[in-house]
Each structure stands twice: as structure tokens, then as C-alpha cells.
Structure 1
């Protein structure tokens, strides 16, 4: 064997080894690229799921917030309607015809009177425009006298000068009591719940 043949064999071996190393490198590079692409796909999918989850959470928060805001607006609207109804009732109480006002005021005075039996002096207060009506009604009661005006829709505030007992039988107090006791029913009637 000649030296040229040996050199040629070494070159062939080196080429074969280089080709083998190149193929292994390409194969390893393909594996790395494939793994990287798989990892990238998995990462992309995970990011998409995260983004979709965040979008869903944000949508739920926005929806919840909108529902709460709508509920608050409905409650405010209902409160406004109820306040309007109460205001109309108060207006109607102020504008009662004299006969009806007299009957109601007489009834409220009769309800308060037993609290003051034996008192030497009892002061009765009422709406300024009801002064004449109250003075007429008080003619039926000994030791009861009109003592001045009380800011109210009507009715009476009766006060014993000896016992310091005070009974508030105004239209306002009766309305407040009736309103509180029947607010749920009124609300159901108005809003058909």
C-alpha cells in the first residue's frame, strides 16, 4: 500500500466520520427544533388559555359590576317612586276637606285624652291652620287648651303640664307608623314583585 492509498483511506474515513457527525448534528438539531416547536406550541396554548381565562374573569367582573349598578339604579328609582307616593299622601293629608280633617283630628285627640286623666292642665298643639278647628274640638274637654302651633300635617300633640307626658298623635306620626308597617305591601303593589 502506498502512502497515497493510506492518505486516501484516512480521508475517506474522515469524510465518513464527518458525514456521520454532520448527520448526527442534523438529527440532533432536528430534535432540538422539534422539541422547541413543541415547547413553543405548548407555551402558546398555555398563554392562550391564560388570556382566555383572564378575558372570562374580566367579562364576569364587568357583568357583575353592570348587574350591581343596574340593581342600584332600580333601587334608587323605586326609592324615588316611594318617596313620590309618600309626598303625594302628605299633600293629600294637608288638603283634606274640613269634615274629614275634623273627624280624624277628633279621633286622634280622643285616643290621646285617656293619658291625661286627672291632669289639671293639658296643652294641645297642632298645625297652625287648624287652630280654629282644635279650639272647637277642645270645648268638649275640661282642662285642655290650645297651646300653639306644631309643625305637622295635622293632628295633635298633647302634653300634660304636671306629668310631663307627651303624646304625638299627628298625621305625620300615624303616617310614619302605617308607612313602615306597610312599606313591603306598598312596594309589592307598585313594583309587582
Structure 2
């Protein structure tokens, strides 16, 4: 066997070995790439799902905020309307015709003057109140009408001012009025 034949045989064995290694390397690289692509796809899907969930959470949060804001605006509008109705009622009571006001004062005073000593009223009603009662007229008070009746030592009093009566009636009937106005 000649030297050329040995060299050819070594070259052939080397090429075969190189081809074998190259094939194994190609298979291993292909396997690594496939696994990497699979992991990348899974990671991408997980990230997309996380982003989708975050977007849905933010959407729900914004919707809830919007609903809350609408509710708050409606409640504020209702409160403003109820306040406006209360103020109009207060103005109407304050502008009662003199004869109706005097009848109302007379009724209030007669029912509450026993065991009391002093009475207060608004300036406009001073002369009418003095005529309607035997109580000592103690002075004027700032109100839309009505009277304040006090015992001798000033430790107890009856607040029968129209303002107070209207406020109490308004507080007690607020739900009923709200139901009537807003359903």
C-alpha cells in the first residue's frame, strides 16, 4: 500500500468523522433552537396573557371609577336640588302673610306658655307676640319666624322658631322627599 493510499484513507476517515460530527452538531443545534423557540413562544404567551390581564384590570378599574364619579355627580346634583327646595320652603315660610303668621304664633304660644317665663321673637313679630302672650318679652332673635320660649332661670327652653321646625321636618322627611323627587 502506498503512501498516497494511506493519506487518502486518513482523509476519508477524517472527512467521515467530520461529517458525522457536523451532523451531530447540526442535530444538537436544531434541538437547541427548537427548545429556545418553544421557550420563547411560552414566554411570549405568558407575557401576552399578563398584559391582557393587566389591561382588563385597568379597564375594570377605570369603569368602576367612572361609575363612582357618575354616582357622586348624581348625588351632588340631588343634594343641590334638595338644598334648593329647602331654601325655597324657608323663604316661603319666612314670607307667610301676616294673618296666617299671627294665627300660627297664637297657636304655638297658647300650647307652650304654661310654666315658662320669657319669650323671644324676630323683630317683625315683636308687637304681635307681646299681644298674644302673658310671658315677659325678652328680646329679638334672628330667625324667619316663630318664637323661643324659656323658663324663669333660663335652664330650659323651647325652640319653636320656624327655622328649627322646618329643619327638623326636612331631616325627618328627607328620604321620603328624595323618593318622591327621584324615584
TM-score higher than 0.5 here?
A: yes
- Name 2:7's counterpart in structure 1: 7
Q: What is the TM-score of this pair, normalised by structure 1?
A: 0.89
- Name 1:119's counterpart in structure 2: none
- Name 2:179's counterpart in structure 1: 188
SS in 2 for 1:151: coil
Answering whether residue 101 of structure 2 is matched by residue 110 of structure 1, we say no
Residue segments in structure 1 that go unaligned for 5+ positions in a row: 117-121
> Residues of 2 paired with 1:126 and 1:75: CA distance?
37
- Name 1:48's counterpart in structure 2: 48
SS in 2 for 1:156: strand
User: Number of residues paired by the alignment?
Assistant: 183
Residue segments in structure 2 that go unaligned for 5+ positions in a row: none
Answering whether residue 89 of structure 2 is matched by residue 94 of structure 1, we say no
- Name 1:72's counterpart in structure 2: 72
CA shift for structure 1 position 163: 5.9
> Residues of 2 paired with 1:101 and 1:183: CA distance?
25
Over the aligned positions, Cα root-mean-square deviation in angstroms equals 1.4
Structure 1 window deviating more from structure 2 (158-167 vs 33-42): it is 158-167
Answering whether residue 159 of structure 2 is matched by residue 164 of structure 1, we say no
> Residues of 2 paired with 1:102 and 1:71: CA distance?
45
> Residues of 1 paired with 2:70 and 2:146: CA distance?
41
**CA-to-aligned-CA distance 1:117-166 (integer Å, 9 cap, x gap):** xxxxx22101111112212212xx3xx13221111111110112246321
Poorly superposed stretches of 4+, deviation over 6 Å = none
- Name 1:85's counterpart in structure 2: 85
